């Protein structure tokens, strides 16, 4: 039996909608001068972060025009971020590497499209650029235990 033409159109529209939804989840894109959010697929032993770059998390210049930040998200703080802010330069390519030694956390830079899961044993990588000096809040948006609500920090973009 032939499918009514309108029905075909509606099926196409709903398929497009589903594909769009999936795409929007897979690719967190664009916003306040923000690039693509991705996952390196880089693995590490979550119980042995001390043997990695995450032993001394924080930011450093990888080259003259590329800044790199390592962040550990753990129950219930960001290192750096919570006790001291993450500081990054404006108008510079910044790559974040984020991991967790315990459970799944979130890393959400409030007011931007930077929003990613942080999974123990994996390194989440994303590269972005901030247009202007500004202070952003960071929150964990994945329930991670009793202190989840208080898991927050700051990201300071400096001139």
Binding site for ligand CUA (CB under 6 A): 76, 105, 140, 142-144, 148, 151
Nearer to ligand CUA, 32 or 110 (CB): 110
Residues 124, 135, 35, 93, CA torsion sign: negative
Shortest distance in whole angstroms from residue 140 CB to ligand CUA: 3
Shortest distance in whole angstroms from residue 70 CB to ligand CUA: 17
| Geometric angle at alpha carbon 101, from 55 and 78, rounded to 5° | 75
Nearer to ligand CUA, 125 or 142 (CB): 142
Nearer to ligand CUA, 144 or 157 (CB): 144
How far is the CA of 95 from the CAs of 4, 33, 69, 119, in angstroms?
Answer: 51, 13, 6, 17
Q: DSSP for 68-128, please give it.
A: EEEEEEETTEEETTTSS-EEEETTSEEEEEEE-SSS-EEEEETTSS-EEEE-TTEEEEEEE
Shortest distance in whole angstroms from residue 90 CB to ligand CUA: 27
Shortest distance in whole angstroms from residue 134 CB to ligand CUA: 23
Nearer to ligand CUA, 68 or 144 (CB): 144
């Amino acid at each position: 039996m032939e499918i009514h033409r309108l029905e075909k159109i509606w099926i196409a529209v709903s398929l497009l909608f589903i594909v769009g939804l999936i795409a929007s989840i897979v690719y967190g894109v664009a916003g306040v001068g923000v690039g693509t959010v991705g996952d390196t697929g880089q693995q590490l032993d979550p119980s042995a972060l001390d043997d990695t770059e995450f032993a001394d998390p924080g930011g450093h210049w990888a080259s003259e025009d590329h800044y790199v930040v390592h962040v550990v998200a753990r129950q219930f703080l960001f290192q750096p971020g919570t006790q001291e802010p993450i500081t990054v330069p404006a108008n510079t390519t910044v790559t974040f590497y984020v991991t967790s030694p315990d459970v799944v956390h979130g890393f959400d830079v409030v007011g931007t499209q930077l929003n990613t899961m942080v999974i123990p044993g994996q390194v989440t990588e994303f590269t972005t650029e901030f247009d202007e000096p500004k202070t952003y809040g960071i929150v964990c948006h994945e329930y991670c235990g009793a202190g989840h609500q208080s898991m927050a920090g700051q990201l300071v973009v400096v001139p």
